[in-house]
């Protein structure tokens, strides 16, 4: 019967094999990884592909339009190959939209082994125009600060088979679903398989700091296309978004305070002075360590606050926020209490425990397998 040591050896050997297999899976590459083309009847495309691999491999295509391709081998070895793909588009294609034909390299398993076989796939995306008139859009806008203009770029794509001659764009900028600015374009023409970009600039400080939505509507021959994107206008400010408002009396309490940047650039050297105050009398103070705050991000400072000598009650919490050369004062309330409300949390299992359980189950399975196999073999020998 196999020993426990032998079972462990087999288990770790299998684990090592799986790790090596996963490394081999990553050892294949294809270039170019992706190609985008517009459908033009009878147009021919020639694309050269390079494949690298640690094993012998095959090169092939699959999916839409693969029946219109041929492949020439330029050069090939067990670990590298150059292939020339010829794609000749048909006269017509019934299904409009974007279609992906996959170009792939598949590794061949090494002789006498059973393991993972690596497949790497690139694609050629063919954009087939819709019948009649059809357009869609992309919109680009980024966060700015209040002293910067807002640039909005909207690209309309004519994906229909017919030329568009009277496209017109209406752009609205909304704050909390309320239109704060409207911009309209002139009428423009967009030929089939062509694009047109509408560019807008909103002057600095014309939009107050806050969150906005750019909402665009493109109207054309009997059709509409809509697109929206969110953006923010920043102000040089750090805001308190959460803090510990209840602490136990005569106890060293964990205390958290979370602040958020309202600025589109990093803010350095942020820290806070905190005081528990009763009728202008300071009862206790604390201070957070300094930290840097990335754009628009939140940061929580955690520390311990001793409430010894502070009676149960409601107090003012004075907060002085320091950031770079700025100082900001905030007032909140804090409660010193006899006991905190119980919080029921669902028990969580650490990931390390889960992994140990999985390993233990695998070991048990191996042991059962070898025990059963050993007993069966022993019975056969006794016969």
112-145 residue pLDDT tens: 545 566 788 899 999 999 999 999 999 999 999 9
Residue 2 φ then ψ, to 5°: -60, 145
- Are 130 and 95 within 8 A, CB to CB? no
Residue 302 to residues 243, 289, 290, 308, Cα–Cα distance (Å):
10, 9, 12, 19
pLDDT at residue 56, as a whole number? 82
Q: How many other CB atoms are found less than 10 A from the CB of residue 106?
A: 18
pLDDT at residue 339, as a whole number? 87
Give the residue among 230, 231, 321 at the shortest CA–CA distance from 267. Answer: 321
Residue 374 to residues 4, 65, 92, 365, 370, Cα–Cα distance (Å):
13, 56, 66, 14, 6
pLDDT at residue 345, as a whole number? 43
Show the domains of the chain with their CATH numbers. 23-128 (2.60.40.10), 135-234 (2.60.40.10), 238-337 (2.60.40.10)
pLDDT at residue 10, as a whole number? 47
pLDDT at residue 341, as a whole number? 72
Give the residue among 339, 323, 320 at the shortest CA–CA distance from 331. Answer: 320
Structure tokens at 110: 């090494």
pLDDT at residue 19, as a whole number? 43
Q: Which helix (H) or strand (E) holds 362?
A: helix 351-382
> How many angstroms separate the CA atoms of 114 and 350, rounded?
34
> How many angstroms separate the CA atoms of 272 and 289, rounded?
8
pLDDT at residue 79, as a whole number? 78
Question: Using one digit for the tens of pLDDT, what is the confidence trace for 32-88?
Answer: 989 999 999 999 999 999 988 877 888 899 999 999 999 999 998 877 889 999 999
Angle value at C-alpha 131, between 157 and 223, nearest 5 degrees: 55
CB crowding 285-303: b at 16 or more within 10 Å, else e: ebebeeeebeeeeebebee
- Cα Rg for the chain, rounded, in angstroms? 33
Which of the residues in the chain have pLDDT under 50?
A: 1-2, 4-13, 15-26, 113, 344-347
What's this model's pTM, rounded to 2 decimal places? 0.69
pLDDT at residue 220, as a whole number? 96
């Amino acid at each position: 019967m196999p020993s426990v040591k032998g079972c462990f050896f087999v288990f770790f050997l299998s684990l090592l094999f799986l790790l090596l297999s996963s490394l081999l899976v990553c050892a294949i590459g294809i270039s170019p990884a992706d190609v985008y083309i517009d459908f033009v009847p009878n147009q021919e495309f020639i694309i050269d592909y390079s494949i690298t691999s640690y094993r012998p491999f095959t090169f092939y295509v699959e999916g839409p339009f693969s029946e219109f391709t041929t492949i020439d081998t330029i050069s090939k070895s067990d670990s590298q190959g150059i292939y020339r793909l010829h794609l000749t588009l048909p006269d017509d294609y019934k299904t409009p939209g974007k279609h992906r034909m996959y170009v792939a390299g598949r590794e061949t398993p090494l002789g006498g082994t059973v393991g993972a076989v690596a497949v790497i796939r690139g694609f050629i995306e063919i954009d087939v125009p819709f019948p009649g008139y059809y357009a869609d859009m992309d919109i680009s806008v980024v966060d700015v600060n209040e002293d910067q203009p807002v640039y909005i770029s909207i690209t309309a794509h004519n994906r229909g088979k017919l030329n568009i001659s009277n496209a017109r764009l209406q752009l609205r900028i909304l704050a909390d679903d309320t239109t704060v600015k409207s911009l309209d374009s002139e009428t423009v023409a967009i030929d089939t398989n062509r694009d047109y970009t509408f560019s807008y600039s909103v002057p600095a400080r014309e939009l107050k700091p806050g969150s906005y939505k750019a909402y665009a509507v493109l109207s054309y021959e009997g059709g509409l296309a809509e697109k929206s994107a969110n953006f923010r206008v920043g102000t040089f400010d750090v805001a308190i978004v959460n803090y510990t408002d209840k602490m136990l009396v005569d106890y060293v309490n964990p205390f958290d305070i979370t602040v958020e940047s309202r600025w589109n650039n990093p803010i350095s050297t942020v820290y806070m002075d905190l005081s528990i105050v009763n009728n202008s009398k300071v009862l206790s103070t604390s201070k957070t360590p300094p930290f840097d705050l990335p754009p628009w991000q939140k940061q929580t400072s955690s520390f311990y606050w001793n409430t010894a000598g502070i009676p149960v009650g409601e107090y003012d919490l004075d907060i002085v926020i320091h950031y770079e050369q700025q100082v900001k004062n905030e007032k909140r309330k804090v409660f010193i209490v006899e006991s905190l409300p119980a919080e029921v949390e669902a028990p969580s299992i650490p990931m390390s425990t889960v992994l140990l359980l999985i390993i233990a189950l695998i070991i048990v399975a191996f042991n059962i397998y070898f025990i059963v196999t050993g007993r069966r073999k022993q019975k056969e020998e006794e016969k």
